[in-house]
Amino acid sequence: MLSDRRQLVLRALIEEYVSNALPVGSRTLSEHYDLGCSSATIRNELSRLEEEGFLRQPHTSAGRIPTDLGYRVFVDDLLSHWDGALHADVETLVELRKAASELDDLFERTSLALTRLTDCLALVLPPRMLASHVKVVNLVPMTEHRLVMVVVTTEGTVLDRTVEVPQAVSADDVMCVQEKVNNFVSLRHLDSIDDKGRLDAEIESDPLFRQLVRELSLCLSDQRRNRPYQLGMTNLMSQPEFSASASLLPILSRLEDDTMLLKVFDDAVGQEGPVVRIGHENGSQDLNGVSVVASHFGEGDQMGVVAILGPTRMNYSQVLSAVQAAKKALGDV
C-alpha cells in the first residue's frame, strides 16, 4: 500500500509521461506539479517507487517511466474514485444513436468517434448474430439466372448475397419463392440454421427453395465470421512506441487471432464496470506494450463489447470516459 505522498508522486509522473512520452525526473515534477514537498524529497520518493517496482529507468542518466505495476496502481486508484462521468469532449458520442441510419452505421460511427477521441485503436464487437431473428428476406432479380438476396434482421443488420440459379426464373417465380422463404424463416432464431442450410426437416422438394435456404445459411454464416468494427491502426502508428513498423507486426497478428478478441469479450462481459488490461496482463508477449480498456453493452444475447487498444502510456482517464460514452450510445442494440 503506497503512502498518500508516494501515490501523488506516482500519479504526477504518469500524467507527465503520458503527455510527453519522455522519462520524467524530479526537477520536472517539482517545477510542474504542486506536490507539497521539496525536489530532494521527490527524488527520494522516486527512488523508493523504483525499488518497489512501480518505476524504472530506461537509461542510467535518464528520468523514470512507469512499469506495468505502476500503471496498475494508478488505474486502480483512478477506478476507485471514478464516478463514470463523461468528459465534455466525449458527450457527442451519446448522440450517435440518433444520427445513425442503421445498426451497422452506428457501430462504424462509434468506432470512428472512439479512435478520434483517444488516438488509439477502437474495436466494437457486435452482439452475437446467433441470437438474432430474420425479419425479412428480399429477392431482387438481376437477370434470369442471377438474384440478389437481401436479409434484414430484427436488430437492423442488413446482409446481402448474390445467388446464381441454374434454371431461368421469372419475376413471378421470384415473388413466389420469396414468400415461401419468408414464411419459412419467420421469427426463427438464426442459430436454428445449420451449416448445411437445413432449418430442420421442413425443406420441401422445390429445388429453387432448397438452394435459397442454403444460400441464406451461407449468408448468415459469413456474417457470424465477420471481423469486429475496427478503426485507428494509423493512430497506433503515430505513437512513439510503435513508430517502427516491426513493433506493430506482432500486434496486428494478435488482432487477427480470434482467441485474443474472445478473451477481451469474456473479460468485459464478466464485469459490471470497465475492464483494464495492462501490458503483460494481456497474456501475450506480443501485447506487453499495449493496454486494453473494454466494457460490455447491452444485455444477455444482445451483449456486445467496445474496446480501446493503445500503448500502456495511454490517457486512461480519457479512454475510460470515451468507452463509457460509447457504451451509453450503443445501449441495448
Sheet of 229-231: strand order equals 229-231, 121-125, 304-311, 290-297, 275-278
Q: How far is CA 225 from CA 37, 61, 129, 152, 218, in A?
A: 57, 51, 9, 17, 11
What string of pLDDT tens digits covers the 333 residues of the chain? 788 899 999 999 999 999 999 999 999 999 999 998 999 999 999 999 999 999 999 887 779 999 999 999 999 999 988 776 666 556 666 666 666 656 677 888 888 888 988 999 998 887 754 345 678 899 999 999 999 999 887 767 788 889 999 989 999 999 999 998 888 877 454 444 544 444 444 455 688 888 888 888 777 666 655 557 778 888 888 888 887 767 788 888 777 765 677 678 778 877 888 999 999 998 888 889 999 999 988 887 678 889 999 999 999 999 999 998 888 888 755
Q: How far is CA 53 from CA 67, 70, 72, 73, 280, in A?
A: 7, 7, 11, 11, 14
Output the pLDDT for position 42. Answer: 95
pTM, two decimals, is 0.70
Output the pLDDT for position 196. Answer: 44
Half-sphere exposure of 177 (CA within 13 A, CB side): 23
Output the pLDDT for position 99. Answer: 63
Output the pLDDT for position 168. Answer: 92
Q: Are strands 275-278 and 146-153 parallel, antiparallel or unpaired?
A: unpaired
Q: Where are the beta strands (DSSP E) in 109-204?
A: 121-125, 134-143, 146-153, 158-164
Contacts of 281 (CB under 8 A, 6+ apart): 68, 72
How deeply is 314 buried, as exposed, middle or buried, from its count of CB atoms within 10 A (0-12, 13-18, 19+)?
A: buried
Q: Are strands 121-125 and 65-66 parallel, antiparallel or unpaired?
A: unpaired
Is 232 strand, coil or helix?
coil
Is 311 strand, coil or helix?
strand
**CA separation for the pair 96, 112 (Å, rounded):** 11
At 157, the amino acid letter reads: T
As given in the structure block, the three cell numbers for residue 66 are: 512507469
Q: Which residues of 155-170 are buried (b: 16+ CB within 10 A; e: fewer)?
A: bbbebebebebeeebe
